Each structure stands twice: as C-alpha cells, then as structure tokens.
C-alpha cells in the first residue's frame, strides 16, 4: 500500500534552511510538508556555526523566532585577525555601522523546531529512499519509505534543503548540473568546553604551526579550533595536546587569558569550497548546503543558507499571493551572484589565515604582506568588515 499526501511545497531537509522556509511560508498561508532522513534529536544536536549576520537576525525576527536569540545572543562589534602574535581588530561597528550576533546554529534549529511544532507542521522523520520525480511538470512528486511503507507526496514545488550529501542536487541531470570545487589540504579540529572565552570577541590566528580560532557559544562556553592534518583522528588529540597547541598558536599574550578544561565535544571537519549551478531545475529549487559549501573561516555557511531562503520564500510567496513568477524565474541567477561573492570572501580569508603545505617561502611572505596591508589600511579593513557583516541580499 502507498500512502498519498498533497501539499503546496515539499521541503526535503529539516535543518535550519528547511525549517526557516517552512516557517516563513506558513506565515504567508502556504502549506508545506518537511522530510528528513534523521530524527529531530539528531538534527538539533549537530554542532555548527555560531556567528549570525544582521540579515540572518532579520530573517529570524520576521519568522517570529528571535526572542531567545535577543535574550541570550552575544552582540559583537568586531573581531581580531592575528599573525604570529600581532593582532589587528576589525571594528565592524565603526567600519560598517553593523554588528554580528554570536548564537549557535543548534539554538537556531531548536527555536525553529519549537515554532514549527507549535504551528502543527507536517514532519516525516527517519525516512528512506527519498526520490524527487516529475520535476519538469506542474505536479512534481517526492517518493519515500518510512517504517517499511511507501509514501508519495504530490506538490507544486520541491525545495531541496537537504545538505551537501542529500538527494535533491542529485535529482538534477548530469548534463544540466555544473559543479565547482576547491578541497583544502587540511581540516579543523574543534572542541567545546565549559570555560569562559579567551577574549570577548573572536580571534582568527595564523601561526607558523597553523591556523587557530578562539570562539564562543556563550559567556561561559567556548568553541575553539585548530588547523590539523586531514589524516588526523580525534583520538590523536587528547585535551592536553590540544590546549598546548592552541595556546602556542594564539601567542603568549593572548594565551595568558586562556582557561582550559575537559572538552565535552571534539570533532574534525574537512574544508571545501563548492558551488552547484543552476540552483533551479524545473520546479525543484536548491538552497543552502545542497547547492554550496564554504569553508568556515568567514562564518558564512548558515548565513548564506538563510539568504537563499529569504529569496526563495519571497519568490514562492509572490507566486501564490499575486501570481507573479518573476522572482521564481530569476531565483537561481540572483542567488548565485551573491553566492560567488561570499565564496570569494571565504576563500580569501582561508587563504590568508591558514598554513598551506604547498606554499613556498614567497607565498608565506605574501600572506604576511596581505595581513600588514589590512592592518595599515582602513579601506582594506572595511572590505573585510563589509563581507563579514553580510553583503546585501541582492
């Protein structure tokens, strides 16, 4: 037996992208069904980014899920770049008139789940064999299995918010889809620890031994990273080794404020830059990590996904409320223009702040020269600041 369902927009993926889209569409009176191959507990537990641009904050306000963010988030007016112990502050507020907010993606996801659950959102968790079909027709379908039973959803549009390894991008024929990728020759080893941050603002550090990032999730919880080899395992990095290496890369002046302790989460993430074009195929629309990945150096992954959703929700709302399809027709082109600019910034900052094994002494000198130029030029610092707080939506 096959269970049949009907909706206006079928959303594949219940991370922050899919949940935000469902919430914004619900406010416009548009019906959605959300699918995910994982369960809610797993999705909420994923450790991800924590720096929110003003555009992301605005989107969460518009979605009615920003109360806890404003109560618990940490407003940051700047951050530091450091090179072999020399620090330069990028004054976001002075250079752009805008700040960013530190508030973990885990919390954003929880807030959106709570809102959608209260709004009686139709969810299917722990689904298998998801297959979007008939995407070039007016009635695309999404087939899947749950608990050994077949289901089919008939809809007007499919939103692929299911991440880099999801099924949505794979549904676009290979002769249509083009992909662009840069895989970096290192990873980030990250830990969470119940200790105050080493600084009240983030510090991105380039040291001869590699990159380090001093970050936080709250005034009592820190999130720290160091560059590591792709061949490393978490077991290679007991806490004592991590703290010693992290302190070395921060430099003695900064490390003097470092409070160490046992980590309660530790993981290694590879770094890549990736873009898929186009972001629309028939009535399938890609958003977030399904279409693009940025290295985490510039804190752009979640923010870029939210920008996609703001544009996609606007397009779908215009279609249903006014019959205007201009935004739908221009979605891929509009989003990709911004995506490539954000990819450029993330690539630039990653190139500046990491030790690349293939770099010659000349290229290492160029890194230092670039840092010195940024530190000595208000215009160069402003360019960094403008990208960090978020480029205009269009």
Tens of pLDDT, residues 238-264: 999 999 999 999 999 999 999 999 999
Q: How confident is the model at residue 213 (pLDDT cuts 50, 70, 90)?
A: very high
Domain that holds residue 171: 2-55+68-73+104-181+272-351
Look at residue 394 and tell me whether its pLDDT is greater than 80. Answer: no
Q: Among this protein's residues, is 388 annotated catalytic?
A: yes
| pLDDT on residue 46 | 80
Q: How confident is the model at residue 50 (pLDDT cuts 50, 70, 90)?
A: confident
Catalytic residue among 296, 319, 331, 354: 296
Residue 224, in any domain of the structure: no
| pLDDT on residue 382 | 98
**Worst-scoring range by mean pLDDT, 37-51, 92-106, 327-341?**
37-51
Q: Among this protein's residues, is 341 annotated catalytic?
A: no
| pLDDT on residue 176 | 98
Look at residue 278 and tell me whether its pLDDT is greater than 80. Answer: yes
Catalytic residue among 76, 207, 292, 319: 76
Residue 295, in any domain of the structure: yes
- Tell me which of 50 and 156 has the higher pLDDT: 156
Residue 149, in any domain of the structure: yes
Residue 389, in any domain of the structure: no
Query: In the predicted model, what is the mean pLDDT of residues 61-88?
Result: 96
Q: Among this protein's residues, is 76 annotated catalytic?
A: yes
Catalytic residue among 103, 184, 204, 225: 204
Q: Among this protein's residues, is 204 annotated catalytic?
A: yes
Give the separation between CA 272 and CA 111, rounded to whole angstroms: 28
| pLDDT on residue 276 | 98
Give the separation between CA 241 and CA 262, rounded to whole angstroms: 12
Q: What is the 3-state secondary structure (H, E, C) of the chain?
A: CEEEEECCEEEECCCHHHHHHHHHHHHCCCCEEEECCCCHHHHHHCCCCCEECHHHHHHHHHCCCCHHHHHHCEEECEEEEEECCEEEEEEHHHHHCCCEEECCHHHHHHHHHHHHHHCCCEEECCCEEEEEECCCCCCCEEEEEECCEEEEEECCEEEECCCCCCCCHHHCCCCCCEEEEEEEEEEEEEEEECCCCCCCCCEEEEECCEEEEEEECCCCCEEEEEEECCCCCHHHCCHHHHHHHHHHHHCHHHHCCCCCCCEEEEEEEEEEEEEEECCEECCEEECHHHCEECCHHHCCHHHHHHHHHHHHHHHHHHHHHHCCCHHHHCHHHHHHHHHHHHHHHHHHHHHHHCCCCCCCHHHHHHHHHHHHHHHHCHHHHHHHHHHHHCCCCC
Whether the CB-CB separation of 290 and 306 falls below 8 Å is answered with no
Give the separation between CA 335 and CA 20, rounded to whole angstroms: 17
Residue 142, in any domain of the structure: yes
pLDDT, tens only, 116-137: 999 999 999 999 999 999 999 9
Catalytic residue among 184, 225, 281, 388: 388
Query: In the predicted model, what is the mean pLDDT of residues 91-109?
Result: 96
Whether the CB-CB separation of 331 and 280 falls below 8 Å is answered with yes
Q: How confident is the model at residue 110 (pLDDT cuts 50, 70, 90)?
A: very high
| Total domains, the chain | 1
Look at residue 40 and tell me whether its pLDDT is greater than 80. Answer: yes
The pTM of the full predicted model, rounded to 2 decimals, is 0.96
Tokens 């830990």 belong to residue: 191
| pLDDT on residue 389 | 97
| pLDDT on residue 45 | 84
Q: Check which CATH number belongs to the domain holding 337 and give it.
A: 3.50.50.60
Look at residue 92 and tell me whether its pLDDT is greater than 90. Answer: yes
Residue 228, in any domain of the structure: no
Residue 43, in any domain of the structure: yes
Query: In the predicted model, what is the mean pLDDT of residues 282-301?
Result: 96
| pLDDT on residue 157 | 98
| pLDDT on residue 309 | 98
| pLDDT on residue 42 | 92
Catalytic residue among 207, 300, 319, 354: 300
Query: In the predicted model, what is the mean pLDDT of residues 286-311?
Result: 97
Query: In the predicted model, what is the mean pLDDT of residues 73-82?
Result: 97
Q: Write down the mean pLDDT value for the chain.
A: 97
Residue 84, in any domain of the structure: no
pLDDT, tens only, 214-247: 999 999 999 999 999 999 999 999 999 999 999 9
């Amino acid at each position: 037996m096959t269970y049949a369902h009907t909706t206006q927009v079928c959303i594949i993926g219940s991370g922050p992208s899919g949940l935000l889209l469902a919430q914004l569409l619900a406010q416009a009176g548009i019906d959605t069904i959300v699918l995910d191959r994982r369960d809610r507990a797993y999705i909420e537990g994923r450790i991800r980014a924590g720096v929110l641009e003003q555009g992301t904050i605005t989107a969460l306000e518009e979605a009615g899920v920003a109360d806890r963010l404003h109560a618990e988030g940490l407003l940051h007016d700047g951050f530091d770049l450091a090179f072999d112990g020399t620090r330069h502050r990028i004054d976001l507020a002075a250079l752009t008139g805008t700040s960013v907010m530190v508030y973990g993606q885990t919390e954003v996801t929880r807030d959106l789940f709570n809102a959608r659950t209260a709004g009686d959102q139709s969810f299917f968790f722990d689904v298998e064999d998801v297959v979007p079909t008939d995407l070039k027709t007016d009635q695309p379908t999404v087939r899947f299995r749950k608990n050994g039973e077949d289901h089919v959803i008939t809809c007007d549009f499919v939103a692929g918010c299911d991440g880099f390894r999801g099924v949505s991008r794979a549904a676009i024929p290979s002769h249509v889809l083009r992909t662009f990728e840069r895989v970096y020759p290192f990873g980030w080893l990250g830990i969470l620890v119940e200790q105050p941050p080493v600084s009240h603002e983030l510090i991105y550090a380039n040291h001869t031994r590699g990159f380090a990032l001093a970050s936080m999730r709250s005034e009592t919880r820190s999130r720290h990273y160091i560059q590591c080899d792709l061949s490393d395992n978490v077991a290679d990095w007991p806490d004592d080794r991590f703290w010693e290496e992290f302190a070395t890369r921060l430099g003695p002046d900064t490390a003097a404020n470092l409070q160490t302790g046992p980590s309660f989460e530790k993981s290694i993430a590879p770094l890549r830059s990736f873009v898929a074009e186009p972001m629309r195929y028939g009535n399938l629309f890609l958003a977030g990590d399904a279409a693009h990945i940025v290295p985490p150096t510039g804190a752009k992954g979640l923010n870029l996904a939210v920008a996609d959703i703001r544009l996609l929700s606007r397009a779908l709302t215009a279609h249903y409320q006014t019959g205007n399809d201009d935004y739908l027709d221009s979605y891929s082109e509009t989003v990709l223009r911004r995506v490539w600019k954000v990819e450029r910034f993330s690539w630039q900052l990653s190139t500046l702040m990491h030790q690349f094994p293939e770099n010659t002494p000349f290229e290492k000198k160029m890194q230092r020269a670039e840092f010195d130029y940024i530190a000595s030029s208000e215009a160069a610092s402003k360019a960094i600041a403008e990208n960090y707080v978020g480029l205009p939506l269009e």
